[in-house]
Amino acid sequence: MNRLVFAVLLAGGAIASFHARAQSADPNLGRNLGAACANCHGTGGHATTGMPALAGLPKEYIAKQMRDFRSGARSATIMHQISKGYTDGQIEAMAAYFAAQKK
Amino acid sequence: MTSRRDFLKAGGAAAVSAALAGCAAVPEMKKPIGRVIVIGGGYGGATCAKYLRIWSGGTIEVFLVERDPTFVSCPTSNLVLGGSRTMADITRSRDKLREYGVHIIRDDVRGIDAQKKRVRLTRVEDLPYDRLVLSPGIDFFFEAIPGLNNAEAQKRILHAWKAGPQTLALRAQLESMRDGGVYILNVPNAPYRCPPGPYERVCQVASYFTKSKPKSKILLLDANPDIVSKAGLFRAAWNQLYKGMIEYRPNSEVKDVDVRGMAAKTDFDSFKGDVLNICPPPRAGDIARPFITANNRWCGVDWLTMESTVAKGVHILGDATLSAPAMPKSGHMANNHGKIAAAAIIELMNGRAPNPQPVIANTCYSFVSDKQVIHVTSVHHYDPAQKTLVPIKPSVGVSAQRSELEGAYGWAWAQNIWADMLA
């Protein structure tokens, strides 16, 4: 096997397993990721005005919107760009966090 | 002069603690595991103070030291110059932070003793801390613009790059300018606070001139080789909304001003104007001076914790930091810095390792008219190999075109981020 390709595969595997480990080990992963959404969507997903609130929405609904923004299935002014900054695992963790917040 | 009421409000450390015991709004006080002092109640500091209290479940004692009575937002302050918003629209109280148990002390910081872990205050006794958060904003190298390096000149020629009294004063200068006058604005070399800010300001002043003094001109003297942010979108707005009003000169660093003759000087030229709006080269706010590590200007930080690279236990947020790659100096970023710091400080004070993979995001909305807005956005992940936050390429993008829909989102962004930090 080409050494470079092997190195890339290895690195990819390492990142994937690192992500998986971080997710299972860190109880605050969803909270920390979701905090970057709060600027527009409110602290804990409680938007004040003019933006969709995320608190208490079903986890699968939030995750699907993010995936649809990413794929272009749902159009947007800005979320089609922001959604591309997150892995599937990160989207799941954020969605679980917002779903667990009281409406 | 300090009134008795002010003094009581500010309180000594002991007085504040005593008062708190009887404060119903604070969740039942557990024995605190330590004390964090936050200096600066802007986008970074206020956010960090609030999130420290929420995420620590009230177990960390948080003091917020701030000299100004209210928060005035720099983002959206260009709308006051344009005339579509008032100072009241961009001003918020910090009082609700008290409901989270944040002790607000209105005072000036005289100094920081990072060895003894104490903050020296002006009106109340010095305060010890376990960890310090500095969110100092920016100050300027006035000495780089010799003609502007005195108090009289600074009253006449404003920067208005910190929202507040200068915002109003610049608006007053624009209002009293004759129709047919020239407004000159400069852009310092990047990095500076709010990359799209000067170009948005030009739009707002042009919007005002178009309505009220249509014969007037705007000259933008940019030290940089091109428009630093959202270049295509700003150019389109200038050409389509304010045709013939704006002259843009790249590679034109303002090196001096002639206050009496009201002229801005570059290496080779001198430009006369009626209103000069000059932003000298910026640097980390004065209080952060001991922690400046780069180019005499910015404070290096560990992006996992926002801890200074030269002072243990001192965390630095916002525009004052030596920016990570492609990270703008913005209020939105400062807010996110505050959350990285809050999460990390709680872990560290509990003897645990901080989150090894912080992820933050930026969004900057710019008003190119009173209603139409453009954005730039990016998501940044911590890269352990590079030991810094790096932008995730596919997430970096700008608006397809300016729109009123984004105008509504832009204003809603402001309401929500102000609530996220203060309410």
Single residue among B225, B256, B280 that ends a domain in this structure: B280
| Cβ separation A40–B399 shorter than 8 A | no
Closest of B214, B276, B286, B269 to residue B245, by C-alpha: B214
Cis-peptide, bond into residue A58, ω within 30° of zero: no
Tokens describing residue B171:
């608006």
Give the pLDDT confidence score for residue A13 in this predicted structure.
38
Statement to judge: residues B91 and B33 lie in one domain: yes
In B36-164, which residue ranges form alpha helices assigned H by DSSP? Answer: 43-55, 78-82, 151-156
Tokens describing residue A22:
């971080």
Closest of B319, B321, B324, B318 to residue B310, by C-alpha: B321
Between these two residues, B9 and B84, which has the higher pLDDT value?
Answer: B84
Between these two residues, B51 and A23, which has the higher pLDDT value?
Answer: B51
Q: Which residues contact A28 (CB under 8 A, 6 or more apart)?
A: B55, B343, B355
Tell me the pLDDT tens digit for each residue of B186-220: 999 999 999 999 999 999 999 999 999 999 999 99
Nearest to A35 among B339, B392, B411 (CB): B339
For residues A95 and A41, give the distance between their C-alpha atoms in angstroms, rounded to a whole number.
13
Nearest to A38 among B359, B378, B420 (CB): B420
Within 10 angstroms of residue B398's Cβ, the number of other Cβ atoms is: 19
In B226-288, which residue ranges form alpha helices assigned H by DSSP? Answer: 231-241
ipTM of the complex in this document: 0.91
Cβ-contact B45, B140 below 8 angstroms: no
B88 is a domain residue: yes
Statement to judge: residues B111 and B24 lie in one domain: yes
B150 is a domain residue: yes
**Of all residues in chain A, what percent carry a pLDDT higher than 90?**
75
B258 is a domain residue: yes
Helix (H) or strand (E) run with residue B9 in it: helix B4-10
Question: Mean of the pLDDT values across residues A68-83?
Answer: 98
Statement to judge: residues B13 and B91 lie in one domain: yes
Tokens describing residue B351:
């003897």
Q: Which residues contact B220 (CB under 8 A, 6 or more apart)?
A: B184, B185, B186, B187, B198, B199, B202, B246, B247, B248, B249
Q: Where are the beta strands (DSSP E) in B273-358?
A: 275-277, 282-284, 301-302, 307-308, 314-316
Tell me the pLDDT tens digit for each residue of B247-271: 999 999 999 999 999 999 999 999 9
Tell me the pLDDT band of B15, cut-offs 50, 70 and 90. very low
Tell me the pLDDT band of A14, cut-offs 50, 70 and 90. very low
Tokens describing residue B334:
């400062």
Statement to judge: residues B184 and B209 lie in one domain: yes
Closest of B100, B21, B31 to residue B63, by C-alpha: B100
Closest of B136, B163, B97, B162 to residue B419, by C-alpha: B97
Find where tokens 């000298």 sit.
B280
Chain A: closest CA distance from residue B339 (Å): 7
Could you list the residue range(s) of the whole structural domain that residue B319 is in? 4-139+283-354+415-422
B22 is a domain residue: yes
What is the pLDDT of chain B when averaged over all its residues?
Answer: 94
Name residue B272's beta-bridge partners: B263
Whether the pLDDT of residue A8 is over 80: the answer is: no
Cβ-contact B45, B338 below 8 angstroms: yes
Q: What are phi and psi of B67, to 5 degrees?
A: -85, -25
Tell me the pLDDT band of B417, cut-offs 50, 70 and 90. very high
Statement to judge: residues B14 and B125 lie in one domain: yes
Structural domains of chain A, with CATH: 28-99 (1.10.760.10)
Whether the pLDDT of residue B378 is over 60: the answer is: yes
Q: Which of B386, B420, B421, B422 to mutate to test the interface with A (most CBs of A within 10 A)?
A: B420
Statement to judge: residues B30 and B127 lie in one domain: yes
B56 is a domain residue: yes
Tell me the pLDDT tens digit for each residue of B299-328: 999 999 999 999 999 999 999 999 999 999
* Beta strand pairing call for B282-284 and B301-302: unpaired
Tell me the pLDDT band of B46, cut-offs 50, 70 and 90. very high
Q: Which of A48, A80, A81, A91 to mutate to test the interface with B (most CBs of B within 10 A)?
A: A81
Tell me the pLDDT band of B90, cut-offs 50, 70 and 90. very high
Q: Which of B416, B418, B422 to mutate to test the interface with A (most CBs of A within 10 A)?
A: B416
For residues B262 and B301, give the distance between their C-alpha atoms in angstroms, rounded to a whole number.
40
Angle (CA) B258-B259-B262 rounded to 5° is 75
**Of all residues in chain B, what percent carry a pLDDT higher than 90?**
93
Rg of chain A, C-alpha, whole Å: 16
Tell me the one-letter amino acid at A62: I
- CATH no. for residue B207? 3.50.50.60
Statement to judge: residues B245 and B350 lie in one domain: no
Helix (H) or strand (E) run with residue B389 in it: strand B388-391
Tell me the one-letter amino acid at B94: R
Tell me the pLDDT tens digit for each residue of A47-68: 999 999 999 999 999 999 999 9
Statement to judge: residues B115 and B35 lie in one domain: yes
For residues B32 and B56, give the distance between their C-alpha atoms in angstroms, rounded to a whole number.
10
| Cβ separation A35–B358 shorter than 8 A | no
| Cβ separation B409–A48 shorter than 8 A | no
| Chain A residues within 8 A of B343 when measuring between CB atoms | 28, 32, 35
Q: Where are the beta strands (DSSP E) in B31-129?
A: 34-39, 60-66, 71-72, 91-92, 102-106, 109-113, 118-121, 127-128
Statement to judge: residues B92 and B128 lie in one domain: yes
Within 10 angstroms of residue B232's Cβ, the number of other Cβ atoms is: 11
Give the pLDDT confidence score for residue A26 in this predicted structure.
87
B334 is a domain residue: yes
Give the range among A5-14, A36-45, B54-63, B381-390 with minimum mean pLDDT.
A5-14
B374 is a domain residue: no
Statement to judge: residues B157 and B216 lie in one domain: yes
Specify the 3-state DSSP secondary structure of B263.
strand
What is the pLDDT of chain A when averaged over all its residues?
Answer: 84
Give the pLDDT confidence score for residue B41 in this predicted structure.
98
Whether the pLDDT of residue B17 is over 80: the answer is: no
Whether the pLDDT of residue B356 is over 80: the answer is: yes
| Cβ separation A39–B343 shorter than 8 A | no
| Chain B residues within 8 A of A40 when measuring between CB atoms | 363, 409, 412-413, 416-417
Torsion of CA B397, B398, B404, B405, to 10 degrees: 0
Cβ-contact B182, B219 below 8 angstroms: yes
Statement to judge: residues B225 and B343 lie in one domain: no
Torsion of CA B120, B126, B127, B130, to 10 degrees: 60
| Cβ separation B409–A22 shorter than 8 A | no
| Cβ separation A36–B409 shorter than 8 A | no
Whether the pLDDT of residue B283 is over 50: the answer is: yes
Cβ-contact B313, B117 below 8 angstroms: yes
Give the pLDDT confidence score for residue A24 in this predicted structure.
53
Tell me the pLDDT band of A1, cut-offs 50, 70 and 90. very low
Chain A: closest CA distance from residue B397 (Å): 6
| Chain B residues within 8 A of A51 when measuring between CB atoms | 409, 412-413, 416
Number of domains in chain B: 2
Statement to judge: residues B197 and B272 lie in one domain: yes
